[in-house]
Structure 1
């Protein structure tokens, strides 16, 4: 085979270009790239599912924090207006439910209110996200 600058080399028909020099291809190698590709795809799908599950947990946590914060602020506003503890917790509960959460706990102590909100994640296998918030004057001491 002669080399000519500027021209593409032509391989003789007896040489197979699909193998590396000095390597003979056997029938057992056929389809091995398919198995490797399926393995890579499986790993990528698993990582994608894990990212979605983690994202669901993070979103649920943020929603629970927001609901607890807003519920505590609404309850503290009611306490400062002179509402009894039950009414302040009812106001907090309305706000927590309006934020797609469940009021898990509510306690009024002095002029402050503590609210606990729970939000179920969109993936049923995960536990619900729970957050606490306190609003009112700073604790004495």
Structure 2
């Protein structure tokens, strides 16, 4: 049984090496790779809905572009966590690039700024830079037994 498997493995390896040099096979592989860029990854039943891609994408974007944009925005959010003063776009951009993120386009810093502005997660302070938007308070005000909020000095 082992001899049959070895013979099959040898024949498969020979055929693969021959096909690897065939220009038609190379073109077929590249076309399949390009096509895969436009095919969304299959969703599994166990996948968390909160991590799924948004149902509506910006015009002209692909699921892969949305995923990359989301990763960049998440990284920018982590950079700004704990900062109370604004950070300039250039500093955020430099930190993201140092961490291996790629922001494309002719003006990548401007693209980063536009992504941050359109995400709704960040507060622009014009030329001073960016902070995270304040999240609404999770705790309601303490109410007294008469149903009104308790205020000091009243």
Same fold (TM over 0.5): no
Of the two structures, which has the highest relative contact order with CA contacts closer than 8 Å and spacing of 6 or more? 1
- With normalisation by structure 2, the TM-score equals 0.31
Q: Tell me which structure has the larger Cα radius of gyration.
A: 1
Q: Which has the higher strand share?
A: 1
Q: Which has the higher helix share?
A: 2
